[in-house]
Structure 1
């Protein structure tokens, strides 16, 4: 986009965050290259999330609206929004949830977001949606089809892809993304055939494109290969914690006792190794019995919102004959979400853990911003930055 006299357009990209949470989307968008992204409006239903957001972004004091999205009206939004992001609730879509899909009380909030888009004038040039892989299979794919159809009817051409955060941080966190671009703003490199299989478009994503390309407005843009990602927790573990954070011997022994025989063998091998290593562990209910499971690799499992038996992960330090176990800290949750510099100054420990478990990984959104959003919204700025 060129400015007056042929100069490059340096106008900030005006963005709105729906289901903004604690602000990790904004954290990511502020890091993108080639253009400034200015979040001018944000919304979430939880006051605790708003408090954490504003503690990190004080200017949001005036534009963060704490309100049920069902009560949000278009006059609440400022004019000129080019990018709208939506990480709507996943609980009804997740394989670990109730699978009620888009008729569920939580994930059904997608329809409220779509309703707001419908009445925005002009509509954002680009929308970015994020959710769990279970969105693709909910009600045998009918939920995703309905969501894509609603966005297509609003004038958006749609791309679907998937990114696992383990390519950026030591956390297994697979997520699917939908990018909608108003048809008049599609870039020249947009393709309208079926995308080839790649690390961001595995076979199941390709199948989504194949299924809907004849009936809906679908496109794809070639994206670079994802980085390999870290293989252990080095640099993500909080080295200095309060003395009482590590569990006492009897609790550690109870932890070990709850492990299965396979898990105990894994624990023992790490315990007797010549080097110190870290593993994460989480509780599972097997045949009605609560058991701890030690992760096989050196990265964390998917961080979840606190409030369930398997929701909070423990950190296990083993090697040279020594063993120690404790709960993971909010700072470690922040690090694993790519938010090393995030200020933990608002909310209780559980509220902080909940906020990160309910958020997006900063590095993933930054990568999407650099390779997809900014090139579409400010193509000339991107070209000049390369």
Structure 2
């Protein structure tokens, strides 16, 4: 099924969603989502695997125009459209395997692809780029290949989990870089954990393919160690020295927040979303001695603290594990209870537990004003778990993409 829908571009910050509590502030870095004098004005984007549109959220805030977007899941499209009604771009709700290069828009500057990670993730079966999900990378490459030299965008941005680097002993990443080389792109690889911007540990790797002449400040030697190019990234360059790869020197990452205070939604003690005594006691009873001691320390503190928790299966039994720090674990697509994060609020001799809300997920992805009114909470959580963090993409755009594209037009 193909749905083409007019969607409205937003050059200004959107108003808060009706569900947002006025007494609970957005996380502070959301203020960075204001347009910064539209430095990317005129740059046109094709957004593959668009999901709920957080890639678009980041790029539009920097003045880019989403000329085309695609995804296969109707629930994600509904959230995408709810947050950018009547935009002039076209969202094609259909299987990427039916997309043809000849039908792509003209004058594209950037193509983005946050292709499925399930076959690359350490939690999956590790089928890699040969899997039915992560193998959609090849469909992205096919569409680029079908485009004429004049239409193929200057930059291609790939995003995925760190498992992309190690899948099949590094062979999958090598094949992907080889394919990008064949399409005329030199590749730059780096890694960013979203915890430098939001209180969520979300490590991701990025490949920026630059077609044609490299930017003047590019380097084709192995990169020096840095926060975005640790030793495992350096090994990628060493193992693929025969391929077309490059780096650009980028700024250091910010420190990022270290607690959930600006994320947690204000909620009264009698809100029904808090788990009742029976359910809470089951949660507390499942904790191993390590995590029970962690909870006891938090509970006995004189001030309230927030922690997130995941349900795990250990030795055939379900158990909950509480994070030792004040940030969230990596948000995941909700395929079951173990994929959802619970919130534990403890201190002054008490402890309460509930599921994290869609608004809290939105804030952890850098979009506190995002409309989260999906048909079910799980649909919203699924969409956020499968998305990019807005602040991370904005940083890449400011540090990398806009400079390269601006230089290309001089």
Normalization by structure 2: what TM-score? 0.88
Tell me if 1:376 matches 2:409: no
Q: Are residues 61 and 45 of structure 1, via their aligned partners in 2, closer, same or farther at CA, if it must alter by over 3 Å?
A: farther
Tell me if 1:265 matches 2:293: yes
Deviation at 1:381, TM superposition (A): 9.7
Q: Does the 8 A contact of 2:40 with 2:64 survive in 1?
A: no
Tell me if 1:292 matches 2:320: yes
Runs of 4+ in 1 over 2 A off after TM superposition: 59-62, 379-382
Deviation at 1:163, TM superposition (A): 0.1
Residue-by-residue CA offset, 1:108-166 (whole Å, 9 max, x unaligned): 00000000011112211001000000000000110000000000111101100000000
**Comparing 143-152 with 306-315, which one deviates more in the overlay?**
306-315
Partner SS state of residue 15, structure 1: strand
Q: Does the 8 A contact of 2:67 with 2:89 survive in 1?
A: no
Deviation at 1:60, TM superposition (A): 4.1
1:54 corresponds, among 54, 57, 81, to 81
Q: Does the 8 A contact of 1:24 with 1:360 survive in 2?
A: yes
Deviation at 1:62, TM superposition (A): 5.6
Tell me if 1:126 matches 2:155: yes
**Cα distance in 1, alignment partners of residues 323 and 401 from structure 2:** 35
RMSD of aligned alpha carbons: 1.7
Tell me if 1:12 matches 2:42: yes
**Cα distance in 1, alignment partners of residues 409 and 275 from structure 2:** 52
Q: Are residues 254 and 381 of structure 1, via their aligned partners in 2, closer, same or farther at CA, if it must alter by over 3 Å?
A: farther
**Cα distance in 2, alignment partners of residues 361 and 62 from structure 1:** 22
Corresponding residue number in structure 2 for 1:90: 117
Tell me if 1:274 matches 2:302: yes
Q: Does the 8 A contact of 2:102 with 2:146 survive in 1?
A: no
2:52 corresponds, among 16, 22, 27, to 22
Tell me if 1:365 matches 2:390: no
1:72 corresponds, among 89, 99, 104, to 99
Any unmatched runs of 5+ in structure 1? 1-8
Partner SS state of residue 310, structure 1: helix
Corresponding residue number in structure 2 for 1:341: 369
Tell me if 1:140 matches 2:140: no
Q: Are residues 289 and 72 of structure 1, via their aligned partners in 2, closer, same or farther at CA, if it must alter by over 3 Å?
A: same
Corresponding residue number in structure 1 for 2:133: 106
**Cα distance in 1, alignment partners of residues 368 and 174 from structure 2:** 37
Corresponding residue number in structure 2 for 1:5: none
Q: Does the 8 A contact of 1:161 with 1:201 survive in 2?
A: yes
**Comparing 239-248 with 266-275, which one deviates more in the overlay?**
239-248
Partner SS state of residue 218, structure 2: coil
Tell me if 1:158 matches 2:187: yes
Normalization by structure 1: what TM-score? 0.93
Equivalences, count: 370
Any unmatched runs of 5+ in structure 2? 1-38
